[in-house]
Amino acid sequence: MSNECQCGKCKRNVRIHDLKIKPEYFKSIVNGTKTFETRFNDRHFKVGDLLQLREFDNKGYTGKYIFVEVIYILDDPQFCKEHYITMSIKVRLDKTVVL
């Protein structure tokens, strides 16, 4: 699912992608050690898009989430499996965060 950002600060129509993320990866993004996300590219991710990463464990959503911005996309078959991309991301603290 993706929505258009309604913050009024975005310079273009930014899509917000609502995505599940495992707790160990969520924690690494929060503490700053994980600055990338690899995904199947069925959503046509673009630089500038926002990802709402929602922590999801084996029982379901935990209620924790964080927004990150896509700042670079690696889409090279030499380095990525077919239909997959690796996105460089940065945490957006100007968006709502629940940790």
**Amino acid letter, residue 11:** K
pTM: 0.84
pLDDT of res. 71:
98
**Does residue 9 have a pLDDT over 60?**
no
* Residues 54 and 65 sit within 8 Å (Cβ to Cβ): yes
Supply the pLDDT for residue 7: 54
Domains, the chain, ordered by start: 13-91 (2.30.130.30)
Residues in CB range of 65: below 8 A, 6 or more apart: 52, 53, 54, 55, 97, 98
Residue 41 is predicted with a pLDDT of 96
pLDDT tens-place string over residues 26-73: 999 999 999 999 999 999 999 999 999 999 999 999 999 999 999 999
